């Protein structure tokens, strides 16, 4: 009987620890799943040109946008805190000016963010 109690206790704590590790702290975990199979998107290879075309008319450190997306390093805070996922992929209220984003471009942005926005 004692062995069953020990095994049950260990199992309980293992499950609790696993759930604790998945507590939703990743803001980019929200929103839709990536719908592009084998997406291998990086900032330098894919996303920089999209961001330059669709975001920098306002977010280049000047102009109406208060955030600067002119470099990967300047975007990092907004990539990490989920702001870009929320505004571009979930709410779809960005970009507000300049070139509009197609759904395919939003899907690419989503997959890139879900992958941890690799440089």
Residue 60 pairs in a beta bridge with 68
pLDDT one-digit tens code per residue, 95-115: 998 788 999 999 999 999 999
**CA pair distance 6, 80, nearest whole angstrom:** 40
Domain count, the chain: 1
The stretches of the chain forming alpha helices (DSSP H) are 2-21, 48-54, 72-80, 83-84, 103-114
The residues, any chain, with a CB within 8 Å of residue 50's CB and separated by 6 or more, are 101, 105, 108, 109
Q: Is 119 contained in some domain?
A: no
- Say if residue 95 is preceded by a cis peptide, omega within 30 of 0: yes
How does DSSP classify residue 28? G
Structural domain including 56 reads 2-114
Q: Is 94 contained in some domain?
A: yes
Q: What percent of the chain has pLDDT over 70?
A: 80
Residue pLDDT tens, the chain, 119 long = 676 656 666 555 444 444 444 445 677 778 899 999 888 999 999 999 999 999 998 999 887 778 999 999 999 999 999 999 999 999 999 999 878 899 999 999 999 999 999 99
Q: What's residue 9's pLDDT?
A: 61
Q: What's residue 53's pLDDT?
A: 93
Q: Is 25 contained in some domain?
A: yes
Q: Is 85 contained in some domain?
A: yes
- Count CB neighbours of 64 within 10 A: 9
Q: Is 57 contained in some domain?
A: yes
Q: Is 19 contained in some domain?
A: yes
Q: Is 64 contained in some domain?
A: yes
Exposed/middle/buried for residue 116 (C-beta within 10 Å: 0-12, 13-18, 19+): exposed
């Amino acid at each position: 009987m004692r062995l069953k109690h020990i095994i049950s206790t260990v199992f309980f704590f293992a499950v609790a620890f696993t759930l604790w590790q998945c507590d939703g702290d990743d803001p980019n975990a929200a929103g839709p799943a990536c719908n592009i199979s084998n997406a291998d998107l990086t900032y330098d290879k894919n996303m920089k040109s999209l961001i330059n075309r669709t975001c920098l008319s306002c977010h280049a450190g000047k102009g109406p946008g208060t955030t600067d997306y002119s470099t990967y390093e300047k975007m990092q805070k907004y990539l990490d805190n989920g702001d870009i996922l929320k505004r571009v992929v979930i709410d779809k209220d960005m970009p507000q000016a300049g070139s509009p984003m197609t759904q395919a471009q939003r899907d690419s942005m989503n997959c890139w963010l879900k992958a941890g926005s690799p440089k």
